[in-house]
Amino acid sequence: MIALTAAEVAAATGGTLHAVAPATVVHGSVVTDSRQVETGGLFVALPGEHVDGHDFAATAVAAGAAAVLAARPLADDEGRGLPTVVVPDVEVALGELAREVLARLRLAALEPGGSGLRVIGVTGSVGKTTTKDLLAQLCGAAGPTIAPVRSFNNEIGLPLTVLRADESTRFLVLEMGASGPGHLDYLTRIAPPDVAVVLVVGQAHLGGFGGIEAVARAKSEIVQGLVPDGVAVLNADDHRVLAMSALAPGEVVTFGASTGAGVRATDVVVDRAGRARFTLVVADGTAQRQEARVELRLVGEHHVHNALAAAAAALAVGLTLEDVAASLTAADALSPHRMHVVDRADGVTVIDDSYNANPDSMRAALKALAVVAGRDRRSVAVLGEMLELGEGSRAAHDAIGELVVRLNIGLTVVVGEGARPIGDGANREGSWGDEVALVDDVDAAERFLETELRPGDVVLVKSSFGAGLWQLGDRLTDPTTHPAATAVTS
C-alpha cells in the first residue's frame, strides 16, 4: 500500500485510533492473514465462519504490522494495547480504504511523470479469471501491472488487490464477481473502471439472482460504474451483453465471432492438443482493418473468446495490435485448476478444470476433452455438482449428461449425490451401463480411478469449487504421487 499515517487510515475508514500515534506510518502490505504480515503493514482483522481475525492481531503486530484494522480495541495477552484503527465494520472499512488509495493514485498519475494509471474491470458468468490472467500478461508486457491472485473478485479480494497498487502502477486489472444484484455496483464504487469488460451473461449463480434477466441487470452494473469517459468492452455475440451499450457513458468496443464485432477472430483452427490459432482482426469503423496472427497456449477453443475480450481491453488502454498478438501467443493460464494440463508418467493426461463450474463452462470443458482425446484416446470425465443454479439445477445437470453421450465421452464418473442427474441424463440419452459410474465423494472417485485409468486416457476433472473436486485435481497431478508428471499447460 502507498504510505499513509494511522490518522489518514482512520480518516479514510471512519475509524478511531487506539494505542497508536496518529503520525505512525503504515507503508507495507495490507493482509487478512497474520502469516503474511510485512514490517510496516496493515493487518485487517476480518471475522470469518471458522476463525476471527481479531484473535490473531497480537501475532500480526509481533510480526511487524504497524497497525490493525479492527472492530474493537485490542490488547495482547499482558493487557497492553495493540495499535488499532477501530471501525464500525471491518469489511466496509477495507473497501473505503481501497477507494481512498485509488483516488490518490489517480491524482498522482496525472502529475508530470505520473504513471497514467488505467483501471480495467472484468466481469461475466464465464471466463473472468482466464481473461483477467490474459490481461495481466498483456498489460504486464507494457508496464507495471497489478492483477488479482487466483480469483480475488469479491468485496474482500478486490480491495486487497487495489491496495497492492502504488505510484508506479500503470495498469490495475480487476476481476469483479457477483452472486446477486448490487454486488458490482458496490465494487465499482470502490474502483470505478476506465475500461469495463463484460464477457457473457450465463447461468452461473442463478439461485442468487432469480433468473437470467436478473443476471444481465446485475452484470450491467459494471458498465454503469465506469468513469465518466470510460470504455465499455462488450461481447457482440451475447444479445444481453450487447444491449448494455445503451448504458455506456462513453465509447463502446465490441468483440466476438459476429462479423460486426470490432475485435474478432477469423480462420480459427484447433490442434490435437486443444490449442487454438487464429487471425486477430480489428476493424472499429474509424481505422483501416488490421490483422495479426495468434497461437494460444491455452487448452480449449472457448479461450478464443477470452482472448478477444482481453485483446479488446488491451487495445482500449493503448497497446498496439502487434504487442497484443505477441503477448497472447506467449500467455499462459496463471490461476490453478483452470484447464491445467498434466501429462503423467503412466501415460495418463489430466485436464484439471476443477476450480468452478456452471453449465456454460462445463460444456466448454467437455468439448475440449473430446478434442484432446480425439479418436485414438479414451476420454474420461470426472464431474461433480454445479452449485447455485437454483430451481433449474436438476435440468442443467441432466443436460450435461446428455452432452456427455453426444460427445462420445468414453467414461463419465459422477461424484456426489448433487451431481447424480448427470448420470440420469446420460443414461436416458443412450449411454451403456458401464460408461457411467456413480461414486459418493472425492475419496471414492480417487479409488475408482486408481483401478480404472490406463495409459493413453485423457481425464477431465470439473465441478464447482464447493463440490470439492479441486482436491481430486491436486491428487491426480501431485508430483509426489506421479514423480515424472510434466505440466504442459498451466
| Residue 281 reports pLDDT greater than 60 | yes
User: Is the pLDDT at 318 greater than 70, yes or no?
Assistant: yes
What does the block give as the cell for 355? 476450480
Do the Cβ atoms of 4 and 167 come closer than 8 Å? no
- Domain of residue 344, residue span: 340-477
From CA 194, how far away is CA 287, in angstroms rounded? 22
The predicted-structure confidence for 37-67, as pLDDT tens digits, reads as follows: 999 999 999 998 789 999 999 999 999 999 9
Is residue 347 located within the same domain as residue 232?
no
Residue 286 has pLDDT above 80, yes or no: no
Binding-site residue numbers for ATP are 124-130
Which residue from 451, 434, 441, 448 is spatially nearest to 419, judged by alpha carbons?
441
CATH at residue 77? 3.40.1390.10
pLDDT at 412 over 90: yes
Task: Work out the pLDDT band at 480, boundaries 50, 70, 90.
Answer: low
403 by DSSP, 3-state: which? helix
Using pLDDT thresholds of 50, 70 and 90, give the confidence band for residue 205: low
Q: Which residue ranges are tagged as binding site?
A: 124-130
Q: What are 215-258's pLDDT values in tens digits?
A: 999 999 999 999 999 999 999 999 999 999 999 999 999 999 99
d(CA 118, CA 124): 20
Helices (H), 152-251: 157-162, 183-190, 206-209, 212-219, 221-224, 239-242
Mean pLDDT of all residues in 389-412: 94
Residue 490 has pLDDT above 50, yes or no: no
What SS3 class is residue 140? Answer: helix
Q: What is the dihedral of CA 43, 49, 54, 57, to 10 degrees?
A: -50
Residues 6+ apart with CB under 8 A from 231: 194, 195, 196, 248, 250, 251, 252, 253, 316
CA–CA dist 335, 389 (Å, integer): 24
Cell (9 digits) for 298: 491455452
Q: 124 is written with which cell numbers? A: 461475466
Q: What is the pLDDT of residues 329-388, one digit of tens each?
A: 999 988 889 899 999 999 999 999 999 899 999 999 999 999 999 999 999 999 999 998
pLDDT at site 489: 44
According to DSSP, residue 297 is labeled E
Q: Domain check: are 432 and 413 in the same one?
A: yes
- 487 lies in some domain: no
CB atoms within 10 A of CB 458: 25
Same domain, 202 and 297: yes
The CA–CA distances, whole Å, from 377 to 340, 347, 370, 452 equal 19, 11, 9, 14
- Angle 330-334-337 from CA coordinates, rounded to 5°: 130
Read off the pLDDT of residues 121-179 as tens digits, 9 standing for 90 and up: 999 988 999 999 999 999 999 999 999 987 789 999 999 999 999 999 999 999 999 88
Number of domains within the chain: 3
Do 291 and 370 share a domain, yes or no? no
Does residue 359 form part of some domain?
yes
Residues 460 and 346 in one domain: yes
pLDDT on residue 391: 85
Q: Considering the chain, what is the average pLDDT of its residues?
A: 93
Higher-pLDDT residue of 428 and 105 is 105
Separation between Cα atoms, residue 280 and residue 293, nearest integer Å:
6
pLDDT at 443: 97
Q: Are residues 136 and 217 in the same domain?
A: yes
- Write out the three cell numbers for 94: 477495507
Percent of the chain with pLDDT over 90: 85
Q: Same structural domain for residues 396 and 325? A: no
